[in-house]
């Protein structure tokens, strides 16, 4: 999951956009939510597709078709764009899970038991699709989500009624090279047998880390892959021996020679592959990653709801001249750029810009903006002092001078000459701190999360408040402040970076890094 880009809209169809989930063949996919907080995956359709004659009608028909498939292995369609609206979009329930393609790329082929279970579950998914009179037409590793309860077969964007060929043109293939059937590759109507071919190709990938018509590590043109699919035999080396005859049958060149989903499921059951066992057979490390993914998504939703409530509770005040100078009309449906980008052009209002910079700078993910200017460092310190709210208590001052925690060995007095690296997870309760002799992160008694320097001056603050707040640097790389009820009220928004570290740098800046990339910066250098 990635942060929204400045050019992204803030909402589509009345649904707020919270982050980017990725991009597919038809368009961008965003994380969104309903008014009640239910997570959604909102897919927008590329403009060039929307402008094709008849596409809008086909799009609406595909949505109606996908809604006919109600099974445990599919996602529910929640809403979609009205006729004539641009961009066209489709909102489905969000499944916080990696795709098979992502998992295998990161962790390698599935273990034998998990492979058998996955095969059985996907047979169940395709059987449900085919029972509804449909063909998926784009079964591939990227369209299989490895959820904790069972895998999901997603993206019916190219699904068609199996007996409807009105929108299939001669010589036009629909699907993904390397996984689509020979009958699809030559432009024939793709029905149930084509899905079985694609399923077998997907299972070969799950077992070996490559498709049946490609070699490990090679990058070849789509046309070459299509040629191999049509004219060459699949390479099943590395596939468990008991699965080779089953997958060979599914990969037959002639559609009539391929088994149905029900028949393949029966063959798998004879070999120990049956539905319902995925939670026990899936890779053990997957459960932890699913928890982190869901937590990151839920944090985004909670922060969005918190911001909405905070905005609603904030009293209206007449704009000052400085507010007028800083304000700029927004392009309809577009996100305002962070105010700190205006500093160079608004030197006359340096103090006001510095206050805004202290708040916005710390939430930017781009490493390109991780180093503030000299003027930004000076004014950032003053701004943080103002937003910190008060002078720390004697106990907090002592903790600031003597950082707490098992990852904080005694620091030598004097200037720090090397960065201090803090690994996740780390949790700070009220009154606790972590840091060096020159910088400390403190969760104050009033709930504010503040960076103090060696003179006990605030250099940055999250501007949080509330009795019982805590701060947590999580395994997903996100630094979050939670209230006493366990709800996030501020976050660095650096989720999705396992292994990221919190670094107290020699120049006084506090940053979150993944490798050499700065994901977040407090702007407290100097």
Whole-angstrom distance, CA of residue 133 vs CA of residue 164: 10
Say which residues have a Cβ less than 8 Å from residue 153's Cβ, sequence separation at least 6. Answer: 73, 74, 122, 125, 126, 129, 136, 139, 143, 144
Whole-angstrom distance, CA of residue 311 vs CA of residue 309: 5
- At 514, which helix (H) or strand (E)? strand 510-514
Residue 80: how many CA atoms within 13 Å on its side-chain side?
19
Count Cβ atoms within 10 A of the Cβ of residue 486 and give its class: 0-12 exposed, 13-18 middle, 19 or more buried.
Answer: exposed
- Beta strands (DSSP E) in 45-106 are 77-80, 89-93
The answer to whether 135 touches 157, Cβ cutoff 8 Å, is no
Whole-angstrom distance, CA of residue 481 vs CA of residue 73: 36
Cβ neighbours of 201 (radius 10 Å): 26
Active site residue 235: no
Whole-angstrom distance, CA of residue 360 vs CA of residue 462: 10
Say which residues have a Cβ less than 8 Å from residue 87's Cβ, sequence separation at least 6. Answer: 12, 27, 44, 45, 47, 50, 81
Positive/negative CA dihedral, 6, 337, 96, 497: positive
- Rg over CA atoms, the chain: 27
- Alpha-helical (H) ranges within 179-283 are 182-185, 192-208, 222-231, 244-250, 261-270, 278-281
Whole-angstrom distance, CA of residue 364 vs CA of residue 357: 11
Return the structure tokens found at 202.
């997907």
Count Cβ atoms within 10 A of the Cβ of residue 414 and give its class: 0-12 exposed, 13-18 middle, 19 or more buried.
Answer: exposed
The answer to whether 452 touches 392, Cβ cutoff 8 Å, is yes
Of 416, 410, 479, nearest in space to 443 by CA: 479
Whole-angstrom distance, CA of residue 81 vs CA of residue 84: 8
- Alpha-helical (H) ranges within 76-143 are 100-107, 112-131
The answer to whether 507 touches 525, Cβ cutoff 8 Å, is yes
Total residue length of the chain: 526
| Catalytic-labelled residue, pool 138, 155, 183, 416 | 138
Task: Report the catalytic residues.
Answer: 138
């Amino acid at each position: 999951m990635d942060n929204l880009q400045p050019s992204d809209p803030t909402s589509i169809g009345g649904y707020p956009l919270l982050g980017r989930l990725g991009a597919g063949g038809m368009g961008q996919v965003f994380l969104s939510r309903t008014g009640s907080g239910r997570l959604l995956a909102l897919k927008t359709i590329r403009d060039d597709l929307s402008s094709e004659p008849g596409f809008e009608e086909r799009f609406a028909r595909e949505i109606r078709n996908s809604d006919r498939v109600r099974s445990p292995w599919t996602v529910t369609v929640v809403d979609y764009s009205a006729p004539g609206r641009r961009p066209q979009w489709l909102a489905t329930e969000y499944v916080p899970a990696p795709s098979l393609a992502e998992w295998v790329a990161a962790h390698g082929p599935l273990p034998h038991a998990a492979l058998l279970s996955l095969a059985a579950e996907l047979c169940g998914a395709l059987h449900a699709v085919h029972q509804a009179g449909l063909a998926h037409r784009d079964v591939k590793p990227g369209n299989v989500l490895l959820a904790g309860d069972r895998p999901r077969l997603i993206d019916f964007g190219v699904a068609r009624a199996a007996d409807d060929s009105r929108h299939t043109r001669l010589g036009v293939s629909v699907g993904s090279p390397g996984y689509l059937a020979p009958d699809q590759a030559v432009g024939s109507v793709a029905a149930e047998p084509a899905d079985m071919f694609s399923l077998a190709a997907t299972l070969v990938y799950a077992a070996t880390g490559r498709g049946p018509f490609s070699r490990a590590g090679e990058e070849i043109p789509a046309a070459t892959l299509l040629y191999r699919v049509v004219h060459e035999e699949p390479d099943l080396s590395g596939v468990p021996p008991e699965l080779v005859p089953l997958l060979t049958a599914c990969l037959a060149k002639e559609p009539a020679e391929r088994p149905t989903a029900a028949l393949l499921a029966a063959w798998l059951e004879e070999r120990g592959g049956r539905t319902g066992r995925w939670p026990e057979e899936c890779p053990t490390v997957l459960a932890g990653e699913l928890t982190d993914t869901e937590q990151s998504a839920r944090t985004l939703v909670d922060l969005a709801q918190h911001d909405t409530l905070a905005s609603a509770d904030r009293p209206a005040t007449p704009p000052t001249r400085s507010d007028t100078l800083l304000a700029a009309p927004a392009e309809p449906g577009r996100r305002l750029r962070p105010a700190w980008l205006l500093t160079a052009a608004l030197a006359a209002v340096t103090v006001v810009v510095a206050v805004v910079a202290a708040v916005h700078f710390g939430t930017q993910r781009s490493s390109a903006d991780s180093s503030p200017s000299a003027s930004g460092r000076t004014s950032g310190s003053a701004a943080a002092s103002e937003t910190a709210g008060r002078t720390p208590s004697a106990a907090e001052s002592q903790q600031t001078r003597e950082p707490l925690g098992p990852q904080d060995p005694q620091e030598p007095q004097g200037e720090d000459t090397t960065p201090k690296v803090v690994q996740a997870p780390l949790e700070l309760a009220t009154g606790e701190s972590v840091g060096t002799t020159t910088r400390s992160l403190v969760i104050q008694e009033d709930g504010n999360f503040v960076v103090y320097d060696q003179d006990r001056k605030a250099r940055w603050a999250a501007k949080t408040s509330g009795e019982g707040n805590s701060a947590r640097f999580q395994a997903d790389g996100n630094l979050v402040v939670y209230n006493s009820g366990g709800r996030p009220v501020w976050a660095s928004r650096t989720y999705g970076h396992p292994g990221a570290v919190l670094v107290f740098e020699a120049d006084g800046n506090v940053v979150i890094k993944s490798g050499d990339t700065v994901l977040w910066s407090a702007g407290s250098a100097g």
